Structure 1
Amino acid sequence: MGRSLKVAPQHINTVKLALKRQGFPSQTALKEEVGLARSTVSKFLNGESVDRWVFLELCEKLGQDWQDIADKEVETALPTPSDSPSHPFQPSTYNAETWVERQQPLAEATEHLRGNCCILLITGITGQGKTALAERVAVELSGELQSEWQPLRGVNLDDETARNFEVAVERLLVQMGETVQAEDRTQPQFLLNRLVKRLQENPYLVPIDSLEVLLEGKTDFAVHNEFREEYRDWWQFCQRLLLSPTCQSRLILTSQDLPTQFASCKSRFWHQLSLSGLNGDEQMQLFEKLLGKQLPEISPEAQEYLKRMGNAYEGHSLVLEVIAGEIATDFAGNVVGYWQRYRREFEEIEATPGNQQLQRRVKVRVRQSLERLQQDSEAAFGLLLAASVYRRKVPESFWLAMVEGEDGDNLLEMLKLRGLTIREYNPQLGEFFLRQHNLIRNTAGEWLHKKMPELWKAVHYMAVKVWLNQYQPEPDAENLEKVRGYLEAFYHCCQVEDWEAVKEILNMRVDSPTQEQLHNQLQTWGYYRQQIKLLSQLLGKLNNRWTGICFNGMGNAYHSLGEYQRAIDFYQQYLAIAREIGNRNGEGTALGNLGVAYQFLGEYQRAIDFYQQHLAIAREIGDRNGEGTALGNLGLVYQSLREYQRAIDFHQRSLAVAKEIKNYQGEGIALVNFGKIEFTLERYSKALENMQRALEIFETISSRSGEATALQNLAAINEKLGNIDVALEYCDRALKIATELGIPLAQDCQDLKERLLNPTS
């Protein structure tokens, strides 16, 4: 069955009537009952495609048989679960061709998840195959006869972006067919509630990988303990699910360590599976699969040596893959010859029975493999070290960019055969991607950083060029992935502490409808915490002017998040720096922003005081644009106080300044503000006139956000006048632009459209 459904045209009126019959006075009431976005409920009621589970849930709430009202043609035309583009489950580590069936842990995992276990936590040291097992479990459960469990791509916390809880929740909700607006990101608790409700009431399989990076900051060796704070959100999320005895979804978590919160949790709805190494039979299966091309049959003597090698490292899967790779490449499959060369390594381990320091031995063994690679091929060794600066999987071309000459493909093949890199095919982009196991990458990266500091710096700069010049996002990528090239280049510049280059990247203009600088584009898209994280890394690294810019940007981000007191703290720091360096323009900006923050707190007199100080400075330094902004802000605060005549006076003065200096954007904003007052005073013809003039200006100067604002207001005015068709036309135009820009106004437009389409709801 397909993963999306929609109401057949002939049944749309039926479901709308069922809304009232089932006791829901409005779409909003239904939205609150099911915990979905308003836009999703509206799509369902208006016959647009929604996720299958959303469709089934809404049908149940409205007392409808989903099979009776579903559009059958659309249902049969949709892709099957295995190839659905809406929910592509593409295992990153599990590979059926090389997978060794680990019967005992697989049986234990599936038994608990089929029961009442809501969260399965797979623990074990790095390289034991936790991620592969988690993905294998997801494949097993979703492939069962009559299974309704739907596996999602899940979350890999090795991805620095996904460590931000709001981003990870958004990605999961989008996979479920939900729409997340920019304003939703300012309400993490609302997003959490939506996700928990979906997981409680629908059968999803959600893998969450590498939880340990949140526990102890176990990330790159050069990055310090900066992620512990974010674990609180993830634990709250897990707690919410553990408190629900009827949760239909299953989470499969992996972690090197057992979090203390889980260890002390008495809920019966979670289970820890401690993963050890491969047993004897499984070890031989792995060797046979990896060496099968060169050794169709493994002699008894070779089997004995392979068994001793496997037992020495307690069946550690990553080490065994590396050993098999060395046998295949350096010894052409000659197991006996390999044993004779390196027998001392294994015999020394055998001579110390009961040694519990497997993790230390594994790290030493990986380092030895790199040393042997260096002896055999300096070029392949250099490529492995250079590519270790990439902190995520990247196209093969990114690795080849690190190589001079024409041997790149051969070097990549050597690394792959040795088990030192992993190759994955990306069907969306039609190319292969490469990544390294974290243990190998961190070992190579530490080697490069400590022993070859100049090369370490050089390859980071090379990575900057590659990310800025070669990165291509997947089709229909989320906004954060559209700027991934900038974000990764920013990371590499931070690693080498080239703060001037970091500043330049922040100032680069993004290829988006608004063409803004990176740090401002994140603000426009609603990724406020990402904006804060970027700007915070520059604090104290450049001159005071730039520190002030960062303080102001962080204040703007916190203001957007509704954390007004924190915003005020940053604006005050910006104000202090501006005064210290004599930046009068910056001083005025800081005062104006403080006024806005206090206005949102309802402290109108303090807001007026700050706006007046901004007005005074702007006049003193001849900043006519700043003067117009301050006048407009004073108009808005008096508007909030319902002193409409004083508000009109200030808006008129703001409009006059804008016209005088030919600030067309300011002129349009002033007209919009006029129109809003006229609308409030029920002078609709005057409101229409001002909004139409504003729209014409915004269209002339190609101000897309201004155009969307004017259109949305025109729609609201025409709604009040009863011109519903005209209002819908304006609303659709505004919604289209706001959606393209990814700005919060899109949700307001969607709400207005729902109201226009359902005037009695």
Structure 2
Amino acid sequence: MNIDKFHTALDELTRQQRRVLDKFLCGEKDQQIAESLNISRTTVRKHIESICKAFGLKNLDGERLSKRTELISLFHKYKPELITQNIPVTTQPETSNLPTLINEFVAYDSGWIGRDNLITNLTQKLQSNCRLLLLVGLTGIGKTALAERLSIDLSSKFDHDPEKLCRKNFDDKNTPSDFITVAVKWLENAGEKVLPEEKKQPQSLLLRLVTYFCDHPNLVLIDSLELVLMGDDNTGWSDFIDEWWCQFFASLLSAETCQSRFIITSQELPNQLDQAASRYPNFSYFQRVDGLSEIEQFNLFNKVGLGDNLPSVDMKLLLRIGKAYKGHPLALRTIAGEIINDFASQVSAYWQQYGHEIEEVEKALAEASQGIIESKEDQWKLDRYSIELRRKVQSRLEQTFKRLSDHAHHAYILLCTASVYRVPVKRSWWLKHLEYRGYTNEQQEFALQNLKDRYLAEISFDPNNEIILIGMHNLVRSVAINHRQKLFTQE
């Protein structure tokens, strides 16, 4: 399409199509667009399909692939200012007045991009009645960075006082994670004296700590809660290893008032916390963190220095990478760093060396759209096709798989065997892999629930919103394929 045809197509869009397009280019997801325009998600998808067709982005016979990436690439080529104009204008927080402790983040940095609507929504909840926010999702999806970003906006609520920021990272192997040890440290850091005999009285420590947090406003960031949880093949749930953590969070939610706010990240849904939170919906909120939208991916590449004066063909390659990774922030930032540092910012050079890995995923998904949804021959390596990906992405996913294998082995078997599916399929298709191996119906259901609670199995619906489908993230499938091959070698 040339520039004249582009402008003609843009001018001929209906008013509602233009509204949908503007919100899409703003980075809003289908559900957000649907809610803001008071229409259904199906209607949003149909509008975007019509918009793509208006710009000549049509599927070939038999194809069912989204053309959204190509649509963004087209606007980057002919009207990039429209994308820029549609980026939500947000007031960046003044970090110069924040204490040194708050600025010493482990994940949030100048490369942060997007999630503006989510930040606004979650900040409002925490500034209101919400005492406990649980951010859940796949490893590397940006939970910790989001928690730290939220803490900036919330710091004014706590007078920018470093002594009012408490942190506990359960991924820190050098510090104990049991409730008593952490409670003692938090109390002593707050200037509260803890007697030696109290360190053997968890009930007393719990009451003191809950009373302190309820009476004194503190912002508490807790990372990697999944590491103090234990999965169970017999129930399908993940519960606290140390029961006192469960009682602590339940006591915070049940207290009459609480001036402190807790932001917790986890790769797993804690069953006991979920049950406690269900009794106090006004005081708690669980937020799943997903990958970046197409526009947020575009802005991420711009932010790190790859977007300026980049040829349209190169930007299209970047968006193809982003699509294959479903907007996974850690993976995309790792790849962007490789392009800048190892390939002198030459996207085409990076693609020449590694593009076949992306093309293999694209080819498999294209075949799936034509009905070839199962394959035992796929060799996806999205997690490990370069040294940096192996170091930063594969290593974290392997930890997730090891924990799954150790704590919920039935679920691990299910995830590995279901990796033969390229796209989401009916739940019965997944479960038949355990049925074939002699697992009972109850064990099958528990295994699937374990995967759902760990965000390793993703729920979606067919195009008519009538049938529930089960799938997995492309990164997860890459690892699961590798584990499946090892599993059958052992068998």
Give the structure-2-normalised TM-score: 0.52
State the partner residue of 2:154: 141
Select which of 298, 313, 318 maps to 2:330: 318
State the partner residue of 1:243: 254
1:313–1:319 contact (8 Å) kept in structure 2: yes
Note closer, same or farther for the CA distance 1:162–1:364 as it changes in structure 2 (3 Å cut).
farther
Amino acid at match of 1:173: L
2:239–2:270 contact (8 Å) kept in structure 1: no
CA shift, 1:108, in A, is: 2.3
1:150–1:205 contact (8 Å) kept in structure 2: no
CA shift, 1:297, in A, is: 2.8
1:370 aligns with 2:370: no
In 1, Cα distance between equivalents of 2:195 and 2:256? 31
- Give CA deviations for 1:99-146 in whole Å, capped at 9, x if unaligned: 114212212211211121111000000000101111111111114697
In 1, Cα distance between equivalents of 2:379 and 2:252? 36
In 2, Cα distance between equivalents of 1:148 and 1:103? 25
Amino acid at match of 1:257: E
State the partner residue of 2:317: 305
State the partner residue of 1:336: 348
State the partner residue of 1:565: none
In 1, Cα distance between equivalents of 2:386 and 2:165? 35
- Give CA deviations for 1:18-56 in whole Å, capped at 9, x if unaligned: xxxxxxxxxxxxxxxxxxxxxxxxxxxxxxxxxxxxxxx
1:124–1:275 contact (8 Å) kept in structure 2: yes
Summarize the alignment of residues 66-81 of structure 1 with structure 2, pairs less than 5 Å apart: none
In 1, Cα distance between equivalents of 2:286 and 2:252? 16
CA shift, 1:179, in A, is: 2.6
1:142–1:149 contact (8 Å) kept in structure 2: no
Secondary structure of 2:383's aligned partner = helix
Note closer, same or farther for the CA distance 1:144–1:185 as it changes in structure 2 (3 Å cut).
closer
1:290–1:324 contact (8 Å) kept in structure 2: yes
1:117–1:250 contact (8 Å) kept in structure 2: yes
CA shift, 1:150, in A, is: 6.6
1:120 aligns with 2:120: no
Note closer, same or farther for the CA distance 1:315–1:81 as it changes in structure 2 (3 Å cut).
same
State the partner residue of 1:272: 286
Secondary structure of 1:257's aligned partner = coil
In 1, Cα distance between equivalents of 2:171 and 2:158? 33
Amino acid at match of 2:170: L
1:287 aligns with 2:304: no
- Give CA deviations for 1:447-497 in whole Å, capped at 9, x if unaligned: xxxxxxxxxxxxxxxxxxxxxxxxxxxxxxxxxxxxxxxxxxxxxxxxxxx
In 2, Cα distance between equivalents of 1:99 and 1:256? 21
Note closer, same or farther for the CA distance 1:201–1:207 as it changes in structure 2 (3 Å cut).
same
- Give CA deviations for 1:493-530 in whole Å, capped at 9, x if unaligned: xxxxxxxxxxxxxxxxxxxxxxxxxxxxxxxxxxxxxx
State the partner residue of 1:637: none
158-167 or 249-258, larger mean C-alpha shift: 158-167
Secondary structure of 1:139's aligned partner = helix
What residue ranges of structure 2 are gaps of 5+ in the alignment?
1-95, 233-237, 404-491
In 1, Cα distance between equivalents of 2:398 and 2:252? 34
2:216–2:259 contact (8 Å) kept in structure 1: yes
Note closer, same or farther for the CA distance 1:144–1:283 as it changes in structure 2 (3 Å cut).
farther
CA shift, 1:148, in A, is: 8.0
State the partner residue of 1:152: 165
Select which of 156, 180, 184 maps to 1:166: 180
Secondary structure of 1:162's aligned partner = coil
Summarize the alignment of residues 34-49 of structure 1 with structure 2, pairs less than 5 Å apart: none
Secondary structure of 2:262's aligned partner = strand
Summarize the alignment of residues 580-619 of structure 1 with structure 2, pairs less than 5 Å apart: none
2:136–2:286 contact (8 Å) kept in structure 1: yes
Higher helix share: 1
Secondary structure of 1:251's aligned partner = strand
1:89 aligns with 2:46: no
Q: Relative contact order (alpha carbons < 8 A, sep ≥ 6): 1 or 2 greater?
A: 2
- Give CA deviations for 1:169-196 in whole Å, capped at 9, x if unaligned: 1222223222333332111211111110
- Give CA deviations for 1:241-280 in whole Å, capped at 9, x if unaligned: 1102411111101111211223333211110111001112
Amino acid at match of 1:138: S
1:319–1:362 contact (8 Å) kept in structure 2: no
Amino acid at match of 1:175: N
In 1, Cα distance between equivalents of 2:259 and 2:379? 39
Secondary structure of 2:285's aligned partner = strand
State the partner residue of 2:224: 210
Note closer, same or farther for the CA distance 1:272–1:131 as it changes in structure 2 (3 Å cut).
same
In 2, Cα distance between equivalents of 1:205 and 1:312? 37
Select which of 256, 263, 267 maps to 2:267: 256
In 1, Cα distance between equivalents of 2:112 and 2:334? 15
Amino acid at match of 2:145: A
1:103 aligns with 2:116: yes
In 1, Cα distance between equivalents of 2:358 and 2:170? 35
In 2, Cα distance between equivalents of 1:437 and 1:181? 45
Secondary structure of 1:120's aligned partner = strand
Secondary structure of 1:93's aligned partner = coil
Note closer, same or farther for the CA distance 1:345–1:228 as it changes in structure 2 (3 Å cut).
same
- Give CA deviations for 1:519-549 in whole Å, capped at 9, x if unaligned: xxxxxxxxxxxxxxxxxxxxxxxxxxxxxxx
State the partner residue of 2:36: none
Bigger CA radius of gyration? 1
Secondary structure of 1:216's aligned partner = strand
Note closer, same or farther for the CA distance 1:249–1:150 as it changes in structure 2 (3 Å cut).
farther
State the partner residue of 2:396: 439
Secondary structure of 2:338's aligned partner = helix
1:120–1:271 contact (8 Å) kept in structure 2: yes
1:277–1:316 contact (8 Å) kept in structure 2: yes
Secondary structure of 1:271's aligned partner = strand
In 2, Cα distance between equivalents of 1:231 and 1:94? 27
- Give CA deviations for 1:192-222 in whole Å, capped at 9, x if unaligned: 111100111121110111011122379xxxx
Give the structure-1-normalised TM-score: 0.35
2:113–2:300 contact (8 Å) kept in structure 1: yes
CA shift, 1:440, in A, is: 6.9
Q: What root-mean-square deviation, in Å, do the aligned CA atoms of Structure 1 and Structure 2 show?
A: 3.7
2:198–2:205 contact (8 Å) kept in structure 1: yes
What residue ranges of structure 1 are gaps of 5+ in the alignment?
1-79, 219-226, 374-383, 385-419, 421-435, 447-761
Note closer, same or farther for the CA distance 1:277–1:231 as it changes in structure 2 (3 Å cut).
farther
In 2, Cα distance between equivalents of 1:174 and 1:333? 49
Q: Percent same amino acid among aligned pairs? A: 36
CA shift, 1:92, in A, is: 3.2
173-182 or 123-132, larger mean C-alpha shift: 173-182
CA shift, 1:302, in A, is: 1.4
Secondary structure of 2:113's aligned partner = coil
